[in-house]
């Protein structure tokens, strides 16, 4: 039986083996070693069958970081987790694991630490699922996606970029985004950040239209050009469209306050405004210098031993990955590089991504992997939460702690044969 240590479920190897046999399709895959860590080597496998619902795996973005978030994984799987953590520290070039484990929170929350910490923790969890439970994304899922920063983990899971390369990209992206904010502050002054706007669903589209009218330009896929004639202190744009009742504004805080007052006066509606824990205006034109940094790295070669002469991006991957910018799967290597570089500047179309997978691709099972449950809750708003609403064909789960693994694997097993009537015909 599992044992509890300091409130954390510890699953013995015998139990892990039992779970593997009962909840995961047995398969053997070759392994590859990255700096001493052997992990399964994914190759394309046709995953969709006529007997199970389509499944998506998704990863969280910035803001879910928490001091000590590696502890449960180190306690439950000490050998595997330790090896992966050593690899993480080697890639980033400093003891990121100490920052994650010891904090303090103000240090972990700094963008250059928070982004690689979240991405690395997400992949650590995924690799533990692979190594300890035989859970292989290419065999169990049909799509991957990630919220902003989470897209870098989704590309690893989908087989497009190696973990080492993606973590390096994440680290450089975070530093470039911080530097872009500092540059705006030094040149123009002002306070920058992000504010979530929560409204009723029927007000969402009028709200978005009112914001576009107020700022004088749209943000749909063209921020790098549409706002070039405006100084950073005047730039406010929609950073995220997260769900049917939530968007996030990014830019100068005073300008955001003025915009919210404008909406309340002219839209006849009083949405709730919540300041997020971010001192940078992510997904706004202020981030444009970071795009150039990403483009340069993505035009280069892999940093992974044995792949030094190969392109950093592998295309096609193992399974489709959804772009934050287009809310559709990447369609070519060139498009992937372009959209991934622009992603730190463009609007995160998370709601559109979920609607696309739910309504057009008929995804019926959703598994969040990584710290926090923000992503699971946003998905659940659109497709329903298992145990609360009727979920079409499956469920919405999250693995943020070892104690949740058994429930998720069991849930996937129990829903393996559930299909919509139209899909079963």
The catalytic position among 148, 243, 284, 302 is: 148
Helix ranges (DSSP H) in 109-267: 111-133, 137-140, 150-157, 163-188, 204-215, 223-226, 253-266
In the three-class reduction of DSSP (H, G, I as helix; E, B as strand; rest coil), residue 29 is classed as coil
Task: For residue 390, count other CB atoms closer than 10 A to its CB.
Answer: 9
Q: In 3D, which of 63, 4, 130 has the Cα closest to residue 399? A: 130
Evaluate whether 238 touches 246 at the Cβ level (below 8 Å). Answer: no
Q: How far apart are CA 396 and CA 394, in angstroms?
A: 7
The residue count of the chain comes to 425
Q: How far apart are CA 48 and CA 91, in angstroms?
A: 34
The catalytic position among 283, 284, 302, 353 is: 283
Evaluate whether 122 touches 154 at the Cβ level (below 8 Å). Answer: no
Evaluate whether 399 touches 129 at the Cβ level (below 8 Å). Answer: yes
As given in the structure block, the two tokens for residue 265 are 């006066």
283: annotated active-site residue: yes
Evaluate whether 194 touches 287 at the Cβ level (below 8 Å). Answer: no
148: annotated active-site residue: yes
As given in the structure block, the two tokens for residue 320 are 């489709």
Compute CA distances 289 → 61, 184, 342, whole Å.
21, 11, 10
CA atoms within 13 A on the CB side of 13: 4
The catalytic site residues sit at 148, 283
């Amino acid at each position: 039986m599992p044992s509890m240590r300091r409130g954390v479920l510890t699953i013995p190897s015998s139990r892990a083996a039992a779970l593997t046999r009962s909840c995961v399709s047995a398969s053997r895959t070759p392994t590859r070693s990255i700096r001493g860590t052997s992990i399964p080597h994914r190759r394309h496998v046709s995953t969709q069958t006529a007997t199970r619902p389509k499944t998506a795996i998704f990863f969280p973005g910035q803001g879910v970081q928490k001091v000590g978030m590696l502890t449960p994984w180190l306690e439950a799987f000490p050998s595997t987790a330790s090896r992966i953590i050593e690899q993480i520290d080697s890639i980033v070039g400093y003891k990121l694991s100490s920052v994650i484990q010891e904090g303090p929170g103000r240090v972990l929350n700094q963008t250059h630490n928070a982004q690689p910490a979240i991405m690395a923790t997400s992949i650590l969890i995924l690799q533990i699922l692979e190594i300890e439970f035989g859970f292989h994304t290419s065999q169990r899922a049909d799509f991957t996606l990630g919220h902003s920063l989470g897209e870098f983990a989704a590309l690893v899971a989908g087989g497009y970029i190696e973990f080492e390369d993606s973590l390096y990209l994440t680290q450089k992206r975070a530093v470039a985004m911080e530097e872009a904010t500092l540059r705006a502050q030094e040149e123009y002054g002002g306070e920058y950040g992000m504010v979530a706007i929560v409204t009723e669903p029927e007000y969402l589209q009028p709200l978005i239209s009112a914001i576009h009218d107020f700022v004088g330009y749209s943000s749909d896929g063209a921020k790098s050009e549409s706002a070039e004639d405006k100084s950073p202190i005047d730039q406010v744009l929609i950073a995220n469209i997260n769900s049917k009742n939530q968007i996030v504004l990014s830019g100068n805080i005073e300008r955001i306050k003025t915009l919210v007052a404008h909406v309340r006066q002219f839209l006849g509606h009083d949405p709730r405004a919540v300041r997020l824990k971010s001192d940078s205006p992510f997904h706004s034109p202020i981030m444009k210098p970071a795009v150039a940094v990403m483009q340069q790295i993505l035009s280069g070669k892999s940093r992974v031993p044995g792949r030094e002469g190969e392109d950093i991006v592998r295309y096609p991957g193992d399974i489709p990955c959804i772009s934050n910018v287009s809310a559709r799967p990447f369609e070519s290597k060139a498009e992937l590089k372009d959209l991934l570089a622009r992603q730190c500047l463009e609007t995160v179309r998370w709601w559109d991504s979920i609607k696309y997978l739910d309504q057009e691709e008929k995804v019926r099972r959703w598994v969040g992997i990584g710290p926090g449950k923000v992503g699971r809750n946003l998905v659940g708003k659109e497709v329903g939460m298992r145990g609360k609403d009727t979920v079409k064909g499956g469920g919405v789960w999250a693995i943020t702690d070892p104690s949740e693994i058994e429930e998720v694997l069991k849930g996937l097993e129990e829903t393996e044969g559930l299909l919509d009537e139209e899909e079963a015909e």
